[in-house]
Each structure stands twice: as C-alpha cells, then as structure tokens.
Amino acid sequence: MVLKALFQSEFAPHLSFKGGTSLSKGWNLIDRFSEDIDLAIERSFLGFEEDLSKNAVKKLKRVACDFTSTALKAALEKELADLGVLNGVVAVTADEVNPIIPDTDPQTLRITYRSLLDPVPYIDDRVKVEVSARSLNEPAVERQIMSLLGQYMPGFPWSDEPFPVATVEPKRTFLEKTFLLHEEFLRPLDKIVYERMSRHLYDLERMMDTEHAEAAIADRGYYDAIVEHRRHLIFKAGVDYDTHQPATLSFIPPDGLLKAFEQDYVKMRAEMIYDERSKDFAEIITRLKSLLNKIKAIYT
C-alpha cells in the first residue's frame, strides 16, 4: 500500500522503484519479504543537471533530503489517507538529519503500523522508504505491481488490483549489488557490516542465470558506466573505484566473516524467504564464486 500511495502521488512521474524489493515485486526474480522500498528521484526535477561537480552533488543531497523529509512525506500521508488508511493506524516519520550538514542521501521515511501478526525478529515492523537523488534513473520501465495478498488471495475484499510503477531494470540492480558488496568488503574486517547483508548474496545467486544478469555481464560499456556513476556521485570514503574492474572485483565475503554471513543467512532464510528453491549458504557461495570467475573470464 505504501508503494501504491507513492506512485499515485503528484511526484510519481519523477520516481523510480529500485533495489531488492523491485526484484521481487516488479520482476518476480526473487522470493523474499522486504521491509524496504528504495526509490530514485530525478535530479532534473530538483533543478540539477546530470553532470555535477562535487560541490553541486553536496547541494543536491541537501535539496533532496529536504524534499523527502517535507514534500514527499506530506504527499505520502495524503495518499495513504485517500486509500482509506485511518488516522492513527500508521505514522510516517522522517529520519532526523544533522542540522549543521542536512544532506543525508538517501533520506529515509519510516512508516510504522499496527501489525495483526506477532513480530518477527529479523523483519522490522516498519516500512522503510529510502529516497536518493544520486541514483541512476535509467533504465526503468513501467511494471504492474501487486501485493502478496492480491497475488495469492485474489477476489477477496482486501485483495488489490495491479498498479503501474516505473521500475529499474534488473540488469542494473544486479550490477549495483555486486558493487555494493565489493565496496563493503574493501573495508577492514572489523568494520564490515554483515547483519541483514546476506540478502544481497541470495539475490545475486537467484539472478545469476537469468537473461538480466547475462545482459549486464555482456555489456562492458554499461558496466563501466555504472562504475563511473558510483565514482562521481556516490564516492564513498576509502573506496578505490579502480578496483571495481573485473580483474579485482570481489563480492564474496572474506573467509573471516563467512560464518557470520552464514548465520545471518540462516535467520533470513527462516523468516524472510518463501522460496522452496532457496539453497544452503555453502552452495550459494560456490555458485557466486563461479559467477565471479565468469565475470573475470569475459574481460580477460
């Protein structure tokens, strides 16, 4: 319902749905629950061109953070009310930002609701909407989205109908996930985040044999374009973006953290994945190693 509210708001033409949740809801490529909705907002809508200096990127982050915290939050509250959500049933809050440097990007809206079910430890009982102005908006196509209730229990009063959402193509999400993991694993071992990170390994393993992954791997120009986008608009501290090249790419957890990632995966598999085809962690790692070797072999 949150996604539907966002994409019937006045800002819908400037938003695109991305990330892991888009793989399940928009493309049926993975079978796991998610409490996150990741959105990209057009930079041009916020008054910025595509080629930005570092100072312009900093200004963009401030403008986008303010937009998400105010205008988009108000629009979401209005659309939820229009969809029949009663006052007091949900609460929409924006994450606090540093008043001195208010440039959080992505900025997060959190939607708290009264659940009819007992809480599940691994899944947050709030919907998290992350909005970034630094993401690529292309390529995105219109997809018909339906809730799990509508998908598995059609015809009931609580079932909904499909609704259109501009959704990022999976080949981009595939590469973004490989780079996200690679960047995380460049950090010192004791700084690497592993909690709730095994989902990216699951997503990559599920995607690796699809036409979308094949298209991403085969298009070196597209691969390099995403690396350069991350270099110039994301520019994480301490990340050497030259290491994203296939010869030095690695999205396999370091040996010293394999056990921690496995424990996280076991929790996620039990509480988030409704996929009877999901594999054991060891098999996922084996398959991802073969994927990594395939990527390296193509470009050597």
Q: What is the pLDDT of residues 37-49, one digit of tens each?
A: 999 999 999 999 8
Strands 126-132 and 36-41, how do they pair? parallel
**Per-residue model confidence as pLDDT tens digits over 225-251:** 999 999 999 999 999 999 999 999 999
pLDDT at 277: 82
- Where do the structural domains in the chain lie, given as residue ranges? 2-168, 170-298
pTM score, two decimals?
0.93
Which residues in the chain land under pLDDT 70? 116-117, 152, 157-159, 300
Q: What is the pLDDT of residue 158?
A: 63
